[in-house]
Amino acid sequence: PKFVYDFREGNRDLKDLLGGKGANLAEMTNLGLPVPPGFTITTEACRTFLESGEEPPALRDEVSAHLAALESEMGKRLGQADDPLLVSVRSGAKFSMPGMMDTVLNIGLSDASVAGLAAQAGDERFAWDSYRRLIQMFGKTVLDIDGDLFEEALEEVKRAKKAATDVELGADDLKKLVKRYKKIVADGAGREFPQDPREQMDLAVKAVFASWNGDRAKLYRRQERIPHDLGTAVTICSMVFGNLGPDSGTGVAFTRDPASGHQGVYGDYLQNAQGEDVVAGIRNTVALADLESVDKASYEQLMEIMATLENHYLDLCDIEFTIERGKLWMLQTRVGKRTAGAAFRIATQLVDQGLIDEAEALQRVNGAQLAQLMFPRFDEDATVEMIGRGIAASPGAAVGRAVFDSYTAIKWSRSGEKVILIRRETNPDDLDGMIAAEGILTSRGGKTSHAAVVARGMGKTCVCGAEELEVDTKQRRLTMAGGRVVEEGDTVSIDGSSGKVYLGEVPVVPSPVVEYFEGRMHAGADEADELVAAVHRIMAYADRVRRLRVRANADNAEDALRARRFGAQGIGLCRTEHMFLGERREMVEKLILADTDSEREQALKALLPLQKKDFVELFEAMDGLPVTVRLLDPPLHEFLPDITELSVRVALAESREDPNENDLRLLQAVHRLHEQNPMLGLRGVRLGLVIPGLFTMQVRAIAEAVAERKATKGDPRAEIMIPLVGTVQELEIVKDEAEQVISEVEAATGASLKLSLGTMIELPRAALTAGQIAEAAEFFSFGTNDLTQTVWGFSRDDVEASFFTAYLEKGIFGVSPFETIDRDGVGKLVADAVKAGRATRPELKLGVCGEHGGDPESVHFFHDVGLDYVSCSPFRIPVARLEAARAAA
Ligand code: ADP
Ligand code: MG
Ligand code: MG
């Protein structure tokens, strides 16, 4: 194979082979843009190197040939003493990856050629500045020497010279610095800094190859599910110099504003600087617009190039450029990152400009961005002091009083106080405090820390790893960078989308996007209108192209109505256990305590009208749309008092010699129903089979509610769902009884109820025998929460707080399987069950009602396996609509 591509030979479609950087440099070259000549070594060469530990034998010759061609094009040889060609060696994988080696500039400089460069440029300072940069970057990234050693040496030389910035250092200072740098290399690497330019280049190339398997790079790939065998490309690019004086400089720019999407001039420029100086923040940059007054010709050329790039890539691009003595050079471009709001606006702007069509617009946004736009947020106009910034671990805007331990968090929140739990880091003992808090702030840990994982799981706002804030849990206070302190009880605000931490209360404003979905959007600020208009249009495209229908998980009329406003096309899961709580609990207790048939019948009879009323309201709210009602699922003990509390009460009463008959019976029942492992115990269909009359009461309530709605000219469309079925026999028994009840109600009311009966597929055995189960079920709804739990053998209520952090850190999975469906395991069962079910009953209706129904990646999976609908919490419906469309487009 061919291992090396000249920039003129590549193009942007070759990212697999040339990496993102190499492919786009080639694309720009072929567009006729001013790119310094160069070539790219393929990922395939890297793969060979990683497999065998050696470069492919042909590589060396190919590189030599390309280097020779480059040298003759440039009219000078690499490192040539009197006029050296210099190059950069740049890493560039298909996906940009933190933790990989980045770039070494000025390769080719040596003790000999530094003088030649000085003479050619007529600038000694520049030459020595370039040389010290080479040794610094090479030492750090190729020879693995601690970068701080170089920084410290630089600082010392600056201090000795009383220089505020590096530009104030003269040639002599830089010569001294080079000497010190060389010593640092010799001491740190046990070898001299290589003087042979080709050796410099070869070592740098190898270092880039090897960095693919660095620990951080590997971890990042595991978490992001990037295959380990892609390898990285290496781009060799002839140097251009932004550090050649005031008519030179380097900059970064966006073709439009990555925050709002507006077209214009966005970027930073730094005179007399090289490479990363702009982003490193070592000196103050100027706004790109000011380049016009510094160098009008280059500025105008840059504007033209930016327009060319946008029209070519049909998207916002970000770029890196350098001006060398008035000549503009392009060093990088790629489709640029943007904020969530800008993504929606840019997508519609590009449609309006005729650059992309609606289907493409859908690919330019995603559900995660939409979800982000739906969180309430802090009022941007508020002037509250920002005191630190950490990692944006779980989005949202939370305000509360600072507490430093879980106990206080719980105590204060019980008394109606909003609190922010502040910890150095959290551990499973903090769980209750985290639940009680509005938000969580930690000073240590990253995106996979305990705090971050658990907060995301609970949908709670979290900022973690705010390192400049020192947390002292003993003294109950937090010390800011300047030494000021936040005491327990002070109000703080944390922004989980930006990672910002404020002292004081930042006013929270509802998201305009939610106001829009709720139908309450009033014309506010122009910014918001623009965003809402863009979201509106994208959602309209989405609804036109998606195949999956989207339903809501909702248990009451209020949620159902909201879900409808958000675009729900029915209810996929109505949990009836919520109808057994509150004041009805007593009736449920009676049912559980019933000793005789008649006592039990009495209890059920009391519950029937209440259930029926709930259903009537629900069917009215969802008139004309399907409503799947799940019969009682949780174990009965959940409806009884807590065993410890009750035991204490009974014991107290006994000590007072005043036993309470009812409490005693309750306690007996609690003991009788106690299970070691309730999630695998007496619940779902098992309850229906063991407690006579329970399921039939529920079926009757549904049937009568449907009849009542029909009588008042409503259009109820109820579906009855039996949970936790493991075998078709269970379903058949319940089904026979249900059909009996339904025909009784039909006979009594004279109405034809058209109720369908189906089941959840949430146990591995159900999925494995789906073909048999479909004989008795008119529909399947995949309960992927329980299915994930039972397939992995993970207790959903425990794992997130216990060992998931470790699993995420080790990269065993990049995201919890309860958040995104595990395609290979749980997903395979779903896919097989879909096939088997449809083979038995071609018209079988198929949906999913686990949390996964609103998760972007999972929605794509459910589209792929051919489900009819997904069902999720009302708030996630817009996200599901959008992702269903993206999956179909
Ligand atoms: P990263 O992926 O970290 O951005 P790059 O390879 O883009 O790494 O290079 C780092 C910096 O060096 C960038 O600012 C880039 O513009 C600059 N740079 C890279 N190659 C050259 C070159 N041949 N001439 C001048 N500057 C360069
Ligand atoms: Mg770059
Ligand atoms: Mg379940």
Distance, first Cα to last Cα, the chain: 36
Q: Are residues 695 and 789 in the same domain?
A: yes
- The answer to whether ipTM exceeds 0.90 is yes
Do the Cβ atoms of 766 and 731 come closer than 8 Å? no
Q: Is 450 a catalytic residue?
A: yes
CB 439 within 8 A of CB 462: yes
Which strand ranges, in their side-by-side order, compose the sheet holding 103-107? 4-6, 38-41, 233-238, 87-92, 103-107
The half-sphere exposure of 532 on its side-chain side, counting CA atoms within 13 A, is 19
Name the domain boundary from 238, 270, 299: 238
Which string of DSSP letters, residue by residue, matches 648-700? HHHHHHHHTT---HHHHHHHHHHHHH--SSGGGSS-THHHHHHSTTHHHHHHH
Residue numbers of the chain with a pLDDT score lower than 50: none
Query: Does ligand 1 come within 6 angstroms of the Cβ of 332?
Result: yes
Cβ neighbours, 10 Å, residue 861? 23
| Ligand 1 atom at shortest distance from the alpha carbon of 235 | 6
* 3-state secondary structure labels for all residues of 115-164: HHHHHHHCCHHHHHHHHHHHHHHHHHHHCCCCHHHHHHHHHHHHHHHCCC
| Closest ligand 1 atom, residue 276 Cα | 14
Mark whether 171 and 278 lie in a shared domain. Answer: no
Q: Phi and psi dihedrals of 571, rounded to 5?
A: -110, 125
* For ligand 1, atom 7: residue with the closest CA: 332
- Do residue 575 and residue 616 come from a single domain? yes
Report the pLDDT value the prediction gives residue 525, as an integer from 0 to 100. Answer: 52
Minimal-distance CA residue to ligand 1 atom 18: 275
Q: Do residues 577 and 492 share a domain?
A: no
In a domain, 10, yes or no: no
Q: Is 240 in the pocket of ligand 1 (CB under 6 A)?
A: yes
Q: For residues 783 and 725, state if they share a domain.
A: yes
**Residue 630 marked in a binding site:** yes
**Does residue 184 share a domain with residue 111?**
yes
Question: How many whole angstroms from 272 Cα to the centroid of ligand 1?
Answer: 15
Ligand 1 pocket, 868 CB below 6 A?
Answer: no
pLDDT score recorded for residue 259: 82
Ligand showing the shortest atom-to-Cα distance for residue 334:
2
Residues spanned by the domain of 281: 249-335
Largest CA distance in the chain: 107
Given the CA of residue 38, which atom of ligand 1 is nearest to it?
23
CA angle 257, 23, 38 (to 5 degrees): 110
Burial class (CB in 10 A: 0-12, 13-18, 19+), 590: middle
Q: Is the CB of 88 under 6 A from ligand 1?
A: yes
Alpha helices (H) along 465-556:
512-517, 526-545
Q: Look at residue 523 and tell me if it is in a domain.
A: no
Question: Three-state DSSP class for 30?
Answer: helix
**Are the CB atoms for 889 and 363 separated by under 8 Å?**
yes
Q: Specify the CATH number for the domain of residue 311.
A: 3.30.470.20
Looking at 335, 358, 391, which one is the last position of a domain?
335
In this structure, the answer to whether residues 475 and 621 fall within a common structural domain is no
Residue 322 CB–ligand 1 contact under 6 Å: yes
Residue 275 Cα to ligand 2 middle (Å): 8
Number of domains in the chain: 4
Q: Does 11 show up as a binding residue in the annotation?
A: no
Q: Whose CA is nearest to atom 9 of ligand 1?
A: 103
Catalytic annotation present for 849:
yes
With respect to residue 272, please indicate whether it lies within any of the assigned structural domains: yes
Same domain for 439 and 576?
no
Task: Using most ligand atoms within 8 A of CB, pick from 331, 333, 334, 337 the residue to mutate for ligand 1.
Answer: 331
Q: Is the backbone of residue 27 left (phi > 0), alpha (psi -120 to 50) or beta? A: alpha
pTM for the predicted model, two decimal places: 0.87
Write the DSSP string, 766-787: HHHTHHHHHHH-SEEEE-HHHH
Residue in this structure with the two tokens 């979201």, named with its chain if needed: 535
Instruction: Answer whether 103 contacts ligand 1 (Cβ < 6 A).
Output: yes
| Same domain as 177, residue 72 | yes
pLDDT at residue 279, rounded to an integer: 67
Residues 6 or more apart from 807 whose CB is under 8 A from it?
A: 813
CB 323 near ligand 1, within 6 Å: no
290 is in an annotated binding site: no
Q: Does some domain include residue 23?
A: no
For 513-543, how does the pLDDT look when each residue is reduced to its tens digit (9 = 90+)?
A: 999 999 887 555 566 788 999 999 999 999 9
Q: Considering the domain boundaries, does residue 541 fall inside one?
A: no
pLDDT mean across residues, the chain: 93
DSSP string, 178-217: HHHHHHHHHHHHSSPPP--HHHHHHHHHHHHHHHTTSHHH
Q: Considering the domain boundaries, does residue 496 fall inside one? A: yes
Domain end marker among 509, 537, 564? 509
Instruction: Please report whether residue 467 resides in a domain.
Output: yes
Choose the catalytic residue: 46, 66, 317, 450. 450
Is 703 in the same domain as 844?
A: yes
CB atoms within 10 A of CB 74: 17
Q: What is the predicted pLDDT for the residue at 526?
A: 62
Task: Say how many Å lie between the CA of residue 158 and the centre of ligand 1.
Answer: 25
The protein residue whose alpha carbon is closest to atom 15 in ligand 1 is 275
Q: Please indicate, yes or no, if residue 422 is contained in any of the structural domains.
A: yes
Residues 226 and 261 occupy one common structural domain:
no
- Spatial separation of the C-alpha atoms in residues 346 and 343, rounded to whole Å: 5
Question: Residue 269 and residue 286: Cα distance in Å, rounded?
Answer: 5
Q: CATH number for the domain including 813?
A: 3.20.20.60
* Centroid of ligand 3 to alpha carbon of 789 (angstroms): 9
C-beta 789 within 6 A of ligand 1: no
Residues, Cβ < 5 Å to ion ligand 2? 332
Instruction: Residue 25: name the closest of 235, 252, 314 by CA.
Output: 235
Residue 868 assigned ligand-binding role:
no
Q: CATH no. for residue 475? A: 3.50.30.10
Choosing from 46, 237, 462, 849, which is the catalytic residue?
Answer: 849
Q: At what angle do helices 597-621 and 557-565 cross, to 10 degrees?
A: 30
722 and 857 housed in the same domain: yes
> Would the annotation count 762 as a binding residue?
yes
pLDDT at 887: 97
What is the pLDDT at residue 816?
87
pLDDT at 217: 87
Atom number in ligand 1 closest to CA 242: 25
